[in-house]
């Protein structure tokens, strides 16, 4: 293609330096936000005003910032749940199902303690909280593990399985918390029983301790993928399962491993939102919204290119955007679903820009007086 005098060519990349990848990611976010401003225009809102409202509420507002951080922790954990299978070349779109299971796991532990209908029950927090987290992780890991096992053992497409498990999980939670289900709130509002006061998560500056857990997890995962043998095995399975098999990596174990780990982290995300975020402390009626929110994990994981440390700022940005989006939608009287629209636009821009991970555009300046080259000279 030619523009003016310049020749533009697409050249296949041989390698992708990390700063280049970061640049593409930032570029894709900017493009998505520009596209997203069409949503503001469509609602008759000045996009600059719209973004100002979003960012001010999300990052500068005393009430908004904790909400942003809580959402970001949730999105970050979902991102990790996506990243681990992604590094093995597998698609976990079942964070929703895994986190529903995790929520039931966490509250299942409390149910066994007899916490249903007794919010003043005393359970030692040093025992109750870790047990809830373990319950959530076991349940999430179990649901994730189903998809991993079926993939490893029978080569069943994991996208279909995880999606089916999302629907199964959705209805199962409905069964558990609605219409007289075992976990139903005795006061009866189609949500689970309240968490006893004694096992509500400790806060650090108004933020649940799960923030620390999430940050530690990021470092741990980064280290696992960069330095350990198991991380190497996962990555090499992701590059080429067949080659990995011949180099002695068990192709049945890796899918199970990555999906169990992913599911456990998704379970932790459920614990974070339903058991640790101030003001929730139950499997809320709108639990499906958190299932939807977990899909941000896919986008964050893709933008971060599977790097858990890079996922931190991206999760923070998306936590802020969804939270601020909700706020702006109310304040500027826009239709419901602004944050969903952002989700969609973001994803598709991301897909287009995937192209640039593999190709780069090269501008070639025409050399001057090229036609003069001849015998005469």
**Binding stretches for other proteins (CB under 8 A):** 39, 91, 93, 150, 154-157, 159-161, 163-168, 171-172, 174-175, 178-179, 181, 292, 295, 298-299, 302, 335-338, 340-345, 347-348, 350-352, 354-355, 358
Name the residue among 324, 358, 342 with its Cα closest to residue 59: 324
| Helix/strand/coil for 305 | coil
The minimum distance between CB 330 and other proteins, in angstroms, equals: 14
Q: Taking a C-beta distance cutoff of 8 angstroms, is the pair 294, 162 a contact? A: no
The minimum distance between CB 85 and other proteins, in angstroms, equals: 12
Q: Between 125 and 337, whose beta carbon lies closer to other proteins?
A: 337
User: What are the backbone dihedrals phi and psi of residue 363, each rounded to the nearest 5 degrees, phi first?
Assistant: -95, 125
The minimum distance between CB 91 and other proteins, in angstroms, equals: 6
Name the residue among 162, 109, 64 with its Cα closest to residue 283: 109
Q: Between 247 and 286, whose beta carbon lies closer to other proteins?
A: 286
The minimum distance between CB 187 and other proteins, in angstroms, equals: 20
Q: Interhelix angle for 296-303 vs 338-358, to 10°?
A: 30
Q: Between 41 and 204, whose beta carbon lies closer to other proteins?
A: 41
Q: Between 249 and 288, whose beta carbon lies closer to other proteins?
A: 288
Report d(CA 134, CA 148) in Å as an integer.
20
Q: Taking a C-beta distance cutoff of 8 angstroms, is the pair 195, 111 a contact? A: no
The minimum distance between CB 29 and other proteins, in angstroms, equals: 15
The minimum distance between CB 43 and other proteins, in angstroms, equals: 10
Q: Between 26 and 160, whose beta carbon lies closer to other proteins?
A: 160
Report d(CA 114, CA 193) in Å as an integer.
11
Q: Between 222 and 292, whose beta carbon lies closer to other proteins?
A: 292
Name the residue among 265, 329, 273, 271 with its Cα closest to residue 69: 273
Q: Between 168 and 217, whose beta carbon lies closer to other proteins?
A: 168
Q: Between 176 and 266, whose beta carbon lies closer to other proteins?
A: 176
Sign of the CA dihedral running 213, 214, 219, 224: positive
Structure tokens at 210: 């799960």
Write the DSSP string, 30-94: HHHHHHHHHHHHHTT--HHHHHHHHHIIIII-TTHHHHHHHHHHHHHHHHHHHHHHHHTT-----
Name the residue among 317, 342, 338 with its Cα closest to residue 69: 317
Q: Compute and round to an integer the Cα radius of gyration of the chain.
A: 24
Q: Between 139 and 350, whose beta carbon lies closer to other proteins?
A: 350
The minimum distance between CB 82 and other proteins, in angstroms, equals: 11
Distances (CA, A) of 157 to 78, 150, 161: 21, 8, 7
The minimum distance between CB 238 and other proteins, in angstroms, equals: 13
The minimum distance between CB 158 and other proteins, in angstroms, equals: 11
């Amino acid at each position: 293609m030619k523009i003016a005098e310049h020749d533009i060519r697409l050249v296949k990349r041989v390698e992708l330096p990390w700063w280049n990848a970061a640049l593409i990611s930032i570029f894709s976010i900017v493009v998505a936000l520009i596209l997203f401003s069409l949503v503001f225009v469509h609602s008759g809102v000045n996009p600059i005003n719209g973004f100002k409202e979003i960012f001010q509420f999300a990052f500068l507002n005393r009430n908004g910032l904790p909400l942003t951080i809580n959402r970001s922790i949730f999105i970050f954990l979902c991102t990790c749940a996506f990243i681990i299978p992604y590094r093995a070349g597998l698609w976990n779109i079942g964070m929703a199902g895994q986190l529903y299971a995790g929520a039931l796991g966490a509250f299942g532990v409390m149910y066994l303690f007899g916490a249903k209908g007794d919010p003043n029950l005393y359970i030692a927090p040093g025992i109750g909280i870790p047990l809830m987290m373990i319950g959530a992780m076991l349940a999430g890991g179990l649901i994730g593990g189903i998809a991993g096992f079926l993939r490893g053992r029978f080569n069943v497409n994991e996208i279909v399985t995880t999606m089916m498990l999302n629907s199964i999980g959705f209805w199962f939670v409905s069964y558990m918390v609605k219409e007289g289900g075992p976990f139903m709130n005795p006061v009866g509002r189609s949500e689970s029983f309240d968490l006893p006061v004694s096992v509500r998560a400790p806060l650090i500056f108004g933020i649940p301790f799960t923030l620390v857990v999430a940050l530690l997890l990021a470092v741990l995962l980064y280290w696992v993928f960069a330095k350990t043998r198991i991380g190497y095995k996962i990555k090499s399975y992701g590059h080429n399962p067949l080659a990995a098999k011949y180099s002695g990596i068990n192709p049945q174990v890796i899918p199970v491993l990555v999906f169990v780990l992913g599911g456990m982290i998704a379970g932790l995300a459920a614990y974070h939102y339903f058991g640790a975020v101030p003001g929730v402390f139950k499997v809320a009626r709108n639990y499906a919204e958190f299932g939807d929110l977990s899909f941000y994990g896919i986008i964050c994981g893709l933008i971060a290119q599977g790097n858990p440390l890079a996922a931190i700022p991206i999760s923070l940005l998306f936590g802020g955007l969804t939270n601020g989006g909700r706020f702006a939608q109310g304040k500027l009287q826009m239709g419901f679903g602004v944050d969903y629209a952002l989700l969609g636009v973001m994803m598709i821009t991301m897909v287009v820009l995937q192209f640039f991970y593999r190709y780069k555009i090269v501008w070639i300046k025409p050399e001057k007086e090229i036609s003069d080259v001849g015998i005469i000279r």
